[in-house]
Amino acid sequence: MATSPVAGGRAVRAAGPATDHDRRPPRSWPAVLLSAGVVAGLFTVQFLRNHRFAYLDDRQADGVAKLVDMGRILAAGKWPWLSTNVVNSGGYAVEYQNGVFNPVNLAFGVLMGHLDDAAFASFLQLLAHLTVLAAAAAWLGRLVGLSTAWSVAFAASVGFGPYTVFWGAGWYQAVVSFSWFVLAVAAVVALHRTEQQRYGWVLLVAAFLCHQSGWPLAIPVLGLFVAAVVVARLVTGCARGATGWIAAWYGGGVLTPLVGLYPLLVSFRFASRSSSISNEANANVAPLEGLLHAADPSYYGWFTSFDGYRLQELPHFYVAWFVLPVLLLWRPAPVGPRVRALAGATVALSVVTALGALGPERALVFRFPTRFLQYWGFFLLLAVALLVAHGRFAPSGRRLAALAASLVLLVLNSLQADPDGPARVVGLGALTAVLCLALVGPRPARPPGRRWRLVVPDAPGRASGAVVAVGTVLVLGVLGWLHPMARGFDWGFPQEPGALETLSREDYTLWYGSYAPLEAPGELPSPAPQAEQYYEEYRPSSTGLLTGDRQINGYSPLAHRFLREHVPLDDHGNFGDSGAELFTSVDGGTGLTWLELLRVDQVVAQHGPRDVQLAEELDGSWRRTSIGEHTSTYRRAPYRLPGLVSYAAPGVEIEDRESCRRQHSRECVRVSGGDGGRVVFARLWFPGYTATFAGRPVDVVRYEGTLVAVDLPAGAAGDLVLSYRSPAVVPLGSLAVAVVAGLAGAQVVASRRARAVPRGRAEPAEVSTR
């Protein structure tokens, strides 16, 4: 029987002739459990050190608030297409980011809606996805041939990498999308290595959840990886039938989530997020430093983005300390076609994502090129894993000297980047050097008649595996302990929203201001003591959703370009120093101000230039009712028209009471006659609105491109019912069901045909003993 080289250079006899169905992946559950436990433990330590670690920046302003709102809507027995508790960013189905068709997201929304501690609720959501991420990475490590110890090191570096945790914990859906992305990659590799169709269902589910996670960048990267694997299999001569199945299962994972993606695709007729489309001249050079410092846990990555952010001191360019010794001291061994195909796909995606990280600053929804670093780091680690699993030590004096010189240069560069932290830089640099030396495992030896010298074994053994696993957990633990703050700023919102009273009245409240003016928002303790009283008076961004406030403001990943012409909110749903001159202006078509068209019955203005301007711009129907320490409150009399009707043409007679119970996705009014004309609702227009009048369909029009409106015929009477549901939900939902049924049927047919055909000889299985 022939032998085949495997991990560490050991030759193992192939098991003899085997069919694709005889191949079994190595036992993975010890690595999966260990990795999930390690990452969950490290993240829990972060939370214990800083109770608000997973509740910062965008998650505080947007992600948690909206998930809680969606969960409350779902718990009330309604589907969370949109929310009428907030106008800007109220179209959940259209915004896509929270995934109204993602059952995992919805389940967490319901759970989080029942928890009083918003920081703890956010922690639980991220903890679950980090556990999935670590488990998927460990399974992937075992699939490519890593030992259990090396799989733990690989999975921990992927799951608790600073670009995953320190950046993603404070940002919406970065960890969520990445967890399903890595699971989908692992499923592709399982199909590729074993050709067992049961893993196709894992790929289908993981791809669906990844596409419904809320971050579009994961979609093209996953598609490119699958395409690279398919092409590599064809080039290396792998079975074409199995290749077709990989493409089919992934194709199903692309078609089924269209029911959730389509609303996003049709949103660009009104979407206008300033931070993704403007500022095209901005330069971004930080990713180059990130690539150079992939293996340096002591380096502070300086990231300068557009004017929405400041310099951020985070180690978010660190990937894994063992990258340098592996790249410098390992060399690949001869492998079979499946490993060659996987290695080719991995290298191709490493190049693509590295170029993406160095690419232009503006690519519509992709926004920062630095976000490619999360994916580049993953494919770099996967390439290292393949090298370790299917290679051997190839040490030499020059390579050892290059490793030592690289470590010294990294420390020197880190000292230049952070001259105020020499103890941290030198300490972590020394720790990395010791771990590299232990990983290489040199031992003194004296050949006959020669001097003593250091000899490096030509194959990694159990000792080196233990070093890399323990060393990785140690380095990540030190980094986590030294950096108890995630990416972005802590705006100080209390983690117990239930302790705050709802401030809105019957209709909408407009918060005319911004975040709490904290002097040091990125420092502990968190929240800052002076912030609590501020949030008793004011609710910035989407945080009012946590306390049940009905408001105009809201963080939007898309932004409604027409609304911004009248209410100049930024991406977070806050104001600059001005804007009152626009939303107090009179609309020529209705004779109402935009505050009235939006049914705003309360404006809370932050003290300073905004409050002064607002007092000058408001007309006589408004009066100042209170002056707090941080804000002034202005109110007007209740509106006469029912529901969310903000305007009815003089020829339209609308009864005072609603004809049915208003819901998040439905509005009902009774028209008793008149000359006909336009009815305008204080609902932001999104694709998906329909209307009936007296039981017959009528057209829904956009008023000033912003609000939902209906034109009624003269002399007619009856109920006007306005409804919303996600665009094309019925045909695309039917397509998803048909795709799943088709794949299941095709699998049954293929399985029966395979059992009917006698097994023949096939290429030997690629065996790994690691």
pLDDT tens digits along 518-551: 777 767 777 777 788 898 999 999 999 999 999 9
Q: Cα(224)–Cα(324) distance, rounded to whole angstroms? A: 27
Higher per-residue pLDDT: 491 or 691: 691
**Residue 52 predicted with pLDDT over 50:** yes
CB 743 within 8 Å of CB 200: yes
Q: Cα(722)–Cα(658) distance, rounded to whole angstroms? A: 12
Kindly give the pairing relationship between strand 443-445 and strand 330-332: unpaired
Q: How confident is the model at residue 203 (pLDDT cuts 50, 70, 90)?
A: very high
CB 463 within 8 Å of CB 441: yes
CB 675 within 8 Å of CB 689: no
Query: What is the torsional sign of CA 282, 287, 292, 293?
Result: positive
CB atoms within 10 A of CB 422: 12
Model pTM above 0.85: yes
Q: Cα(518)–Cα(450) distance, rounded to whole angstroms? A: 68
pLDDT at residue 304 in the model: 44
Among residues 758, 747, 770, the alpha carbon closest in space to that of 154 is found at 770
Q: Cα(189)–Cα(233) distance, rounded to whole angstroms? A: 12
CB 769 within 8 Å of CB 12: yes
Higher per-residue pLDDT: 302 or 143: 143
Average pLDDT, integer, range 345-365: 75
Average pLDDT, integer, range 658-675: 83
pLDDT at residue 289 in the model: 63
Tokens of 611: 């409050």
- DSSP structure class, residue 114: T
Q: Cα(362)–Cα(348) distance, rounded to whole angstroms? A: 23
Among residues 319, 315, 321, the alpha carbon closest in space to that of 303 is found at 315
**Residue 306 predicted with pLDDT over 50:** no
Range with the poorest average pLDDT among 306-320, 391-405, 677-691, 710-724: 306-320
Angle between helices 29-49 and 118-143 (to 10 degrees): 150
Q: What percentage of the chain reaches a pLDDT higher than 90?
A: 54
**Residue 98 predicted with pLDDT over 90:** no
Average pLDDT, integer, range 762-769: 43
Q: Cα(366)–Cα(220) distance, rounded to whole angstroms? A: 10
H helix intervals, 28-102? 29-49, 57-58, 64-75, 92-95
CB 512 within 8 Å of CB 577: no
pLDDT at residue 450 in the model: 62
Range with the poorest average pLDDT among 10-19, 61-70, 106-115, 498-507: 10-19
Residue written as token pair 């199909």? 191
Q: Cα(678)–Cα(516) distance, rounded to whole angstroms? A: 41
Which residues lie closer than 8 Å to 214 by C-beta, 6 or more apart? 96, 97, 98, 99, 102, 105, 172, 173, 176, 177
**Residue 593 predicted with pLDDT over 90:** yes
Alpha-carbon 325 to chain mean position? 31
Side-by-side strand order, sheet with 707-712: 645-648, 677-684, 707-712, 700-703
Q: Cα(249)–Cα(103) distance, rounded to whole angstroms? A: 20
**Residue 504 predicted with pLDDT over 70:** yes
pLDDT at residue 438 in the model: 85
Tokens of 4: 């085949």
Tokens of 90: 């109220």
pLDDT at residue 305 in the model: 43
From first CA to last CA, the distance across the chain in angstroms is: 21
Average pLDDT, integer, range 92-105: 88
pLDDT at residue 160 in the model: 92
**Residue 486 predicted with pLDDT over 90:** no
**Residue 732 predicted with pLDDT over 80:** yes
C-beta pairs of 394-397 under 8 Å, 24+ apart in sequence: 394/329, 394/330, 394/331, 394/458, 395/329, 395/440, 395/456, 395/458
Q: Cα(541)–Cα(543) distance, rounded to whole angstroms? A: 6
Which residues lie closer than 8 Å to 589 by C-beta, 6 or more apart? 703, 704
Average pLDDT, integer, range 429-455: 72
pLDDT at residue 37 in the model: 97
Q: Cα(476)–Cα(462) distance, rounded to whole angstroms? A: 21
Kindly give the pairing relationship between strand 631-636 and strand 622-627: antiparallel
What is the per-residue pLDDT across 256-290, written as a single tens digit (0 to 9) for each?
A: 999 999 988 888 778 776 554 443 444 444 555 66
Average pLDDT, integer, range 731-760: 86
CB atoms within 10 A of CB 471: 21
Which residues lie closer than 8 Å to 107 by C-beta, 6 or more apart? none
What is the per-residue pLDDT across 685-714, written as a single tens digit (0 to 9) for each?
A: 999 999 999 889 999 999 999 999 999 988
Average pLDDT of every residue of the chain: 84
Range with the poorest average pLDDT among 220-229, 452-461, 471-480, 600-609: 452-461
**Residue 19 predicted with pLDDT over 50:** no
pLDDT at residue 313 in the model: 55
Strand ranges for 175-309 from DSSP E: 301-303
| Buried/exposed code over 179-207 (b: 16+ C-beta within 10 A; e: otherwise) | bbbbbbbbbbbbbbbbbebebbbbbbbbb
Among residues 245, 36, 59, the alpha carbon closest in space to that of 156 is found at 36
